[in-house]
């Protein structure tokens, strides 16, 4: 059986998925598929956090997913981008991811016309420009 | 890790006074650390005077390209701007 849920348990949703897209694994874990992100790995992989693939940004198209990691952090949910050093917090997993998307867009806008960047940030800029259309 | 000793306002204040970071107001504070005209680090600090959970504390350290103990030092004060410049230029 395939389990599909949104980030909040009270708003479990069903989405049509193709066979093989998502399934319970051998030890009964499952990952999530929503309209905005997919949880790529079972929760136990990262200390009960979840690796998430962000597959859309408001008003932009992504040529490939942006990997993020979300977990509960004492008082709130913490969503961190894996490739780029940004994070966002929220009262729910969904809110933290939504805030992370805003951070990504804001960062993209800040970087796109700026070349006065360290080598590390030039790489981040190149990465973001390569996938955000 | 000294996240229990400092709140978000402390982090923002240290970034402003020690590194000269100017934060942009938004949903959260975002600011760039610039050295010799180049942007080296971008830090996000949640608004208000809030407790910083461990994960968020680590994320802030990561954004400044510091280890957690270096970030502790930075907040404690021994980490000077010159030493910070030395650390980030070695990246």
Residue the block writes with tokens 């959260």: B28
Interface of B with A in 5-24 (CB under 8 A): none
Give per-residue pLDDT as tens, B12-71: 999 998 999 999 988 899 999 999 999 999 999 999 999 999 999 999 999 999 999 999
Determine the pLDDT at residue A21: 38
Q: Residues B63-83: pLDDT tens digits?
A: 999 999 999 999 998 777 888
Complex prediction ipTM:
0.85
Q: What is the pLDDT, as a whole number, of residue B72?
A: 94
Please name every residue paired with A90 in a beta bridge, in sequence order, or none if there are none: A77
Closest in B26, B28, B53 to A74, CB measured? B53
Q: What are the backbone dihedrals phi and psi of residue B79, each rounded to the nearest 5 degrees, phi first?
A: -75, 110
Average of per-residue pLDDT across A103-111: 94
Question: What percent of chain A lies above the pLDDT cut of 90?
Answer: 55
User: Higher model confidence: residue A9 or residue A123?
Assistant: A123
Interface membership of A95 toward B (CB under 8 Å) = no
How far, in Å, CA of A77 to CA of A108, rounded?
A: 23
Residues B65, B85: Cα–Cα separation, whole Å: 11
Spatial distance between the Cα atoms of A99 and A88, rounded to a whole number of angstroms: 6
Residue A3 is predicted with a pLDDT of 33
Rg, Å, chain A Cα set: 16
Answer whether residue A43 shows pLDDT above 50.
Answer: no
Question: Is A57 an 8 Å CB contact of chain B?
Answer: no
For residue B35, give the DSSP letter. E
Strand partners, B23: B31
Chain A residues within an 8 Å CB radius of B30: 103, 106
CA dist B8 and B44 (Å) reads 10
- Looking at residue A24, what is its pLDDT? 36
B36 touches chain A (CB under 8 A): no
A122 touching chain B per CB within 8 A = no
Which residue's structure tokens are 């955000």? A132
Mean pLDDT of A109-113: 92
- Convert A20-34 to b/e letters by CB count within 10 Å (16 or more is b): eebeeeeeeebbbbb
- Residue B24, pLDDT score: 93
Q: What is the pLDDT of residue A52?
A: 92
Given this model, what pLDDT does residue A67 score? 93
User: Alpha-carbon distance A56 to A64, whole Å?
Assistant: 9
Confidence label for A29 from pLDDT (cuts 50, 70 and 90): very low
Cβ separation of B26 and A88 shorter than 8 Å?
A: no
Average pLDDT over residues A17-42: 41
Picking from B39, B51, B55, the nearest residue to A71 by CB comes out as B55
* A5: pLDDT strictly greater than 90: no
- Going by pLDDT thresholds of 50, 70 and 90, the confidence category of residue A47 is low
Please tell me which of the candidates B27, B39, B55 has its beta carbon nearest to residue A118.
Answer: B39
């Amino acid at each position: 059986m395939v389990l599909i849920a949104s980030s909040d348990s009270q708003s479990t949703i069903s989405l049509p998925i193709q066979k093989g897209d998502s399934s319970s694994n051998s030890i009964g874990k499952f990952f999530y598929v929503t309209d905005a992100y997919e949880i790529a790995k079972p929760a136990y992989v990262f200390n009960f956090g979840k690796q998430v693939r962000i597959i859309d940004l408001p008003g932009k198209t992504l040529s490939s997913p942006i990997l993020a990691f979300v977990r509960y952090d004492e008082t709130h949910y913490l969503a961190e981008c894996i490739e780029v050093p940004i994070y966002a917090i929220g009262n729910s997993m969904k809110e933290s991811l939504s805030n992370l998307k805003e951070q990504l867009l804001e960062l993209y806008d800040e970087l796109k016309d700026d070349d006065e960047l360290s080598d590390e940030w030039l790489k981040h800029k190149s990465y973001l420009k390569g996938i955000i259309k | 890790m000294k996240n229990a000793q400092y709140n978000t306002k402390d982090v923002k204040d240290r970034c402003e006074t020690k590194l000269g970071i100017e934060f942009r107001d938004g949903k959260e504070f975002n600011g760039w650390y610039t050295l010799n005209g180049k942007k080296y680090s971008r830090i996000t600090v949640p608004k208000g005077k809030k407790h910083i959970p461990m994960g968020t504390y680590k994320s802030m350290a990561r954004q400044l390209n510091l280890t957690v103990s270096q970030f502790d030092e930075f907040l404690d004060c021994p980490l000077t701007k010159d030493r910070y410049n030395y650390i980030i230029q070695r990246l």
